Amino acid sequence: MGDSPSRQVTSTQTAPHDDLERQLLRHAQTPFAKPIAAYNREAFDVAAARLESIERPLILDSGCGTGDSSRLLAYHYPDHWVVGIDRSADRLSRQRADTPANCLLIRADLIDFWRLAHGHGWKPIQHHLLYPNPEPKPRHLKRRFHAHPVFPTFVALGGRIESRSNWRVYLEELAQALAFHGRASRIEPIPADEPPMTLFERKYRASGQPLWRLISDAL
């Protein structure tokens, strides 16, 4: 997947994919039964043990990359847990010493982590999905989280959802997928004078790209 930082997304797809509704229906009807990998279970257990040690509201930062947004959220919400999850050991290894104590950065695959979190009754009050890999080639639709069999679990986790992207079509599809599951959302441009929340946002901004966010308020 192209996560080349400063290049604008180009795609032959200029509107939500024609096949998205069919995928959503299929995934709503068929339970996702792929076995959970041991390393994801171990990572989840480490996070769960920390969270159980002190009761606090939970914020998830899924696909946190270097964790800049997780740290920012943790500073902003000192009485909450912020759990940033990313599968890239390389990105997470760029963690800094100033990561606050209420911020956990975990290496795991979201496809398993979300199912574990849901299975253990986690109820995040906020769920951030910032600059997910857009997978803009139409034939790669199924790689996008909303067209993946795990999506019903992502929705079931609940909370206020915020996703950001430099490809508006991605967010339009996410909005369609959330609506399929009964959740309203809105898409708005991110004001250019807002300080960037993530490393990718900073790079996209520096190259002058328009950026959008989708917000779905908690039910």
Ligand X SMILES: C[S@@+](CC[C@H](N)C(=O)[O-])C[C@H]1O[C@@H](n2cnc3c(N)ncnc32)[C@H](O)[C@@H]1O
Residues at the contact surface with ligand X, assessed by CB under 6 A: 3, 63-65, 85-88, 91, 109-111, 130-133, 198-201
Residue 161 and residue 159: Cα distance in Å, rounded? 6
Asked if 75 contacts 84 with a C-beta cutoff of 8 angstroms, the reply is no
DSSP characters for 19-82? THHHHHHHHHHS---PPPPHHHHHHHHHHHHHHHHS---EEEEET-TTSHHHHHHHHH-TTSEE
DSSP characters for 93-131? TT--TT--TTEEEEE--HHHHHHHHHHTT---SEEEEES
Least distance from ligand X to the Cβ atom of residue 150, Å: 9
Identity of the residue, 79 or 103, whose beta carbon is nearer to ligand X in the bound complex:
103
Least distance from ligand X to the Cβ atom of residue 94, Å: 11
Identity of the residue, 77 or 131, whose beta carbon is nearer to ligand X in the bound complex:
131
Residue 164 and residue 153: Cα distance in Å, rounded? 20
Identity of the residue, 111 or 214, whose beta carbon is nearer to ligand X in the bound complex:
111
Least distance from ligand X to the Cβ atom of residue 87, Å: 3
Asked if 167 contacts 10 with a C-beta cutoff of 8 angstroms, the reply is no
Least distance from ligand X to the Cβ atom of residue 64, Å: 6
Produce one character per residue of 163-191: b if its CB has 16 or more CB atoms within 10 Å, e if not.
bbbbbbbbbbbbbbbbebeebebeeeebe
Identity of the residue, 20 or 199, whose beta carbon is nearer to ligand X in the bound complex:
199
Q: Are strands 58-62 and 103-107 parallel, antiparallel or unpaired?
A: unpaired
Identity of the residue, 91 or 146, whose beta carbon is nearer to ligand X in the bound complex:
91
Owner of token pair 């080349």: 4
Note the helical H segments in 134-167: 151-157
- Output the residue with the shortest Cβ distance to ligand X: 65
Identity of the residue, 142 or 184, whose beta carbon is nearer to ligand X in the bound complex:
142
Least distance from ligand X to the Cβ atom of residue 110, Å: 4
Least distance from ligand X to the Cβ atom of residue 54, Å: 25
